[in-house]
Amino acid sequence: MSAIVKTVESSQPRPSGVINFNLGAAHKEMGREGGIEQATLYYQKAVELAKKAGDNEMLSNGGLCLAQCYVKMGRVDEAMDLHKSLCDDIGKESLDPSAILVFAEILEDHHENSHALEILEHHLDTIERSWGKREQCKAYDNIASLYNGKNDCAKSNIYCERHLSIAKEANSAESEDSALHRLGHNYGRMGEYGNAMEYLEQALVIEFERGDDRIVTTYCAMGDSTGRS
C-alpha cells in the first residue's frame, strides 16, 4: 500500500471506508472466481476504518456484508461471532434492518436455518419496537417460514398473526395475502380444516380484488381442506 493511501486512511478514515465498502460490493456483485474472497478483504478494511471513524452506519452495513461473505465461504461461526460483536459494539438498534434480513436469508439459503432463526429472534425486541412495517412483515414472515421448516406450525402461526396484523395496518394487500395463505396451509397441516378454510377464503377475496394468479393455488388448497374436513 502506498504512503499516500496510508495517509488518506489515517486522516480521513470515513471516505476511505466508503471506498473499500463500494469495492467490496462491486467484487461481490461481479460473481467472478475469487470475488467473494476479494470482497471479504475490502469489507474487512471498511469495518476497520468505520471503527476508526466512529461511523456506526458504515460499521453496521460493512459488518453485516462481511458476515454475509463469511457465510458464503462456509465460515458460519465467524459470521455469527461478527454479528454478536456488532450488537455489543454499537447496539441492536443501530444495525440496518434490511442488512439483518439479507444476512438471515443468506444463512437460510446455505441451509443454516437454526442460525437464521437465532438471528431474527435475537432482534425481536427491536423488530417490534423500531423497525418499519415493511421490514416487520418480512421478518415475521421469515420467522414463520423457518418454524414451518421445523414442522412447528403452532409457533409459525404466532408470527403469521403478527405478520397479518402489521400488513393490515400498512394496508399491504400482497403482504396480507401472504400471511393468510401461510395460516391456511398451517391449519391444514394441523388438521384444523375449518380454520384453514376461513383464512384461505379471506385470501381469495384479496386475490380476486387484485387479479392475482395465486387464486388457482388457493382454490386447490381449499379443495384439499374441504375433502379432508
CATH number of the domain residue 76 falls in? 1.25.40.10
Looking at the structure, tell me whether residues 95 and 162 fall in a common domain: no
Print pLDDT tens along the chain (229 aa).
444 344 445 557 778 888 888 888 888 887 666 789 999 999 999 999 999 989 999 999 999 999 999 999 999 999 999 999 999 999 999 999 999 999 999 999 999 999 999 999 999 999 999 999 999 999 999 999 999 999 999 999 999 999 999 999 999 999 999 999 999 999 999 999 889 999 988 988 888 887 767 766 776 676 666 655 5
Tally of structural domains, the chain = 2
Looking at the structure, tell me whether residues 122 and 141 fall in a common domain: no
pLDDT score at 124: 96
CB atoms inside a 10 Å sphere around CB 11:
9
Residue with cell 437454526: 114
CB atoms inside a 10 Å sphere around CB 57:
12
Q: Which of 103, 131, 159 is the last residue of a domain?
A: 131
Looking at the structure, tell me whether residues 155 and 126 fall in a common domain: no
Looking at the structure, tell me whether residues 90 and 32 fall in a common domain: yes
Question: Long-range pairs for 181-187 at CB < 8 Å and ≥24 separation?
Answer: 181/214, 181/217, 181/218, 181/221, 182/141, 182/144, 182/145, 182/148, 182/156, 183/157, 184/218, 184/221, 184/225, 185/221, 186/148, 186/153, 186/156, 186/157, 186/160, 187/153, 187/157
Looking at the structure, tell me whether residues 185 and 215 fall in a common domain: yes
Looking at the structure, tell me whether residues 100 and 210 fall in a common domain: no
What's the distance, CA 55 to chain centroid? 23
Contact 100, 118 (CB under 8 A): no
Domain that holds residue 76: 1-131
Looking at the structure, tell me whether residues 86 and 152 fall in a common domain: no
Rg (CA), the chain: 21
Look up residue 131 and give its DSSP letter. Answer: S
Looking at the structure, tell me whether residues 21 and 113 fall in a common domain: yes
Looking at the structure, tell me whether residues 78 and 138 fall in a common domain: no
Looking at the structure, tell me whether residues 201 and 150 fall in a common domain: yes
pLDDT score at 8: 45
Q: Which of 105, 131, 157 is the last residue of a domain?
A: 131
Q: Which of 131, 147, 163 is the last residue of a domain?
A: 131
* Element of type H or E holding 150: none
Looking at the structure, tell me whether residues 75 and 150 fall in a common domain: no
Looking at the structure, tell me whether residues 9 and 74 fall in a common domain: yes
In the chain, the DSSP E strands lie at none
- Does residue 220 come out as left (phi exceeding 0), alpha (psi in the -120 to 50 range) or beta? alpha
Look up residue 92 and give its DSSP letter. Answer: G
- For residue 213, which amino acid is it? D
pLDDT score at 218: 73
